[in-house]
Structure formats: structure tokens, C-alpha cells
């Protein structure tokens, strides 16, 4: 299967959204923060154990030791970040992303991308912006997107879109399109569902 729009991915994965309905946005935001941390951890471990460098050429060198395993981990973590981002987007604006094509987030072939660590910094800022909006609503007793004020909704929505573009840019470093990342995530979720392990813990369950 080839995912071509955000709505297509959302529809295909909606049945895997197992979380408390009344606080879905807050829940997904806390999980998004965690998934970002797991991605950063994978990068950090590769720097520590293999590359000894944050340079792109070292991180994405397919000839280096354990690269394919590392790349598979990157695909998984980026897919999980996408899953929670799209869940948040669907709650912020249920009808606004219906046919948003993945090409919106694509990387022009003549664009020189910044180093991975710069993209990681931008990812952090996007997630922090989403967190700032959703967590700030707690003081008003609002824990789901349906109750967010319009300005807050627009701010978080924009951060989600920027985050997907950032993931697309990081994926490009590894020879992956956003569609590749989403396709891999769908396949992983389908496998977990078939084995009855959608709930639970562990990256490789």
C-alpha cells in the first residue's frame, strides 16, 4: 500500500487509536513527547557506539556497522511520531486535513537540507509548541482539542504541520519519503493487530 494523503493514513490507522476518549489530545501529546525522546535516544546511541560524530555522512553511511538496524529503528520511531501527530491533527481540525497530499511535505530535489541535528532541534521546537498549547489548557480544566480556543487550536495545528515537514526532511537523509515512513508504520500496526499486541509496551512487540 502507498499512502498519498494525510486523511488516507488517518483513516487506515484510526482503528489503532486506543486511548481514553475524553482526554485524547493530552494523552497523544504526552506520548508524542516520549516518541520524540526515543528517536533522539536512537541517534545518541549511534553517535556513542558507532559514529563518534553528529555529521550526516557518518550517521547515514550505509557501509558502516549496524547501519541497516539503525535505519530500521529510525523508520519505526519516525512512524510513531507521525502516528501521534496525525491523531492530534485529527482532533484539532477533524475536516481540515481531508486531502492534504504528502507532497506538501516533500523535499525539493535541489534543496540542500540542514544537518540532522538542526532538524532535530526544529523537531523539538515543534513538539514543544504542541505541548505548550495542550498542557496550558489544563489550568482551565480543558484536556481535549474539542475545547481548545481557536487561537490555541491554530497554533498547535501549525506546529503539527511543521513537524510532519520536519520528519519528511529527516527521512530524506535516510533515503525515505514521508510516504515510506507512513507505509512502514501501517505495516507495523497491522502486524501488531494480527498478533493481538496493539496494547502493551516495547518497540518490537
The predicted-structure confidence for 112-131, as pLDDT tens digits, reads as follows 889 999 999 999 999 999 99
Q: 80, 38 in Cβ contact below 8 A?
A: yes
pLDDT in the model for residue 71: 95
Most confident of 65-69, 166-170, 191-195, 196-200: 166-170
Q: Could you read off the pLDDT of 21-47 as tens digits, one per residue?
A: 677 888 899 999 999 999 999 999 999
Q: 179, 3 in Cβ contact below 8 A?
A: yes
pLDDT-based confidence at residue 133 (cuts at 50, 70, 90)? confident
107: pLDDT strictly greater than 60: yes
pLDDT in the model for residue 204: 57
What distances in angstroms separate CA 73 from CA 19, 25, 97, 101, 115, one per listed residue? 24, 26, 28, 25, 19
pTM, full prediction: 0.88
pLDDT-based confidence at residue 190 (cuts at 50, 70, 90)? confident
The residue that leads in pLDDT, 176 or 17, is: 176
Q: 155, 35 in Cβ contact below 8 A?
A: no
Q: 53, 47 in Cβ contact below 8 A?
A: yes
pLDDT-based confidence at residue 191 (cuts at 50, 70, 90)? confident
pLDDT in the model for residue 126: 96
Burial class from Cβ neighbours inside 10 Å (0-12, 13-18, 19+) for residue 110 reads: exposed
Amino acid at each position: 500500500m502507498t499512502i498519498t494523503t494525510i486523511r488516507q493514513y488517518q483513516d487506515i490507522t484510526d482503528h489503532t487509536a486506543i486511548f481514553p476518549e475524553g482526554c485524547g489530545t493530552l494523552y497523544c501529546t504526552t506520548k508524542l513527547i516520549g516518541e520524540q525522546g526515543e528517536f533522539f535516544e536512537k541517534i545518541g546511541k549511534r553517535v556513542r557506539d558507532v559514529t563518534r560524530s553528529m555529521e550526516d555522512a557518518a550517521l547515514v553511511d550505509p557501509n558502516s556497522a549496524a547501519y541497516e538496524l539503525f535505519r530500521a529503528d529510525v523508520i519505526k520511531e519516525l512512524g510513531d511520531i507521525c502516528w501521534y501527530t496525525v491523531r492530534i491533527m485529527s482532533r484539532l481540525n477533524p475536516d481540515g486535513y481531508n486531502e492534504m497530499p504528502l507532497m506538501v511535505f516533500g523535499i525539493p530535489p535541489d534543496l540542500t537540507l540542514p544537518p540532522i541535528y538542526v532538524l532535530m532541534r526544529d523537531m523539538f521546537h515543534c513538539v514543544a509548541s504542541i505541548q505548550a498549547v495542550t498542557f496550558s489548557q489544563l489550568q482551565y480544566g480543558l484536556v481535549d482539542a474539542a475545547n481548545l480556543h481557536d487561537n490555541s487550536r491554530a497554533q498547535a495545528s501549525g506546529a503539527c504541520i511543521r513537524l510532519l515537514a520536519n520528519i519528511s526532511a529527516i527521512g530524506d537523509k535516510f533515503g525515505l519519503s514521508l510516504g515510506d515512513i507512513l507505509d512502514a508504520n501501517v505495516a507495523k500496526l497491522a502486524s501488531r493487530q494480527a498478533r493481538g499486541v496493539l496494547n502493551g509496551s516495547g518497540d518490537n512487540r
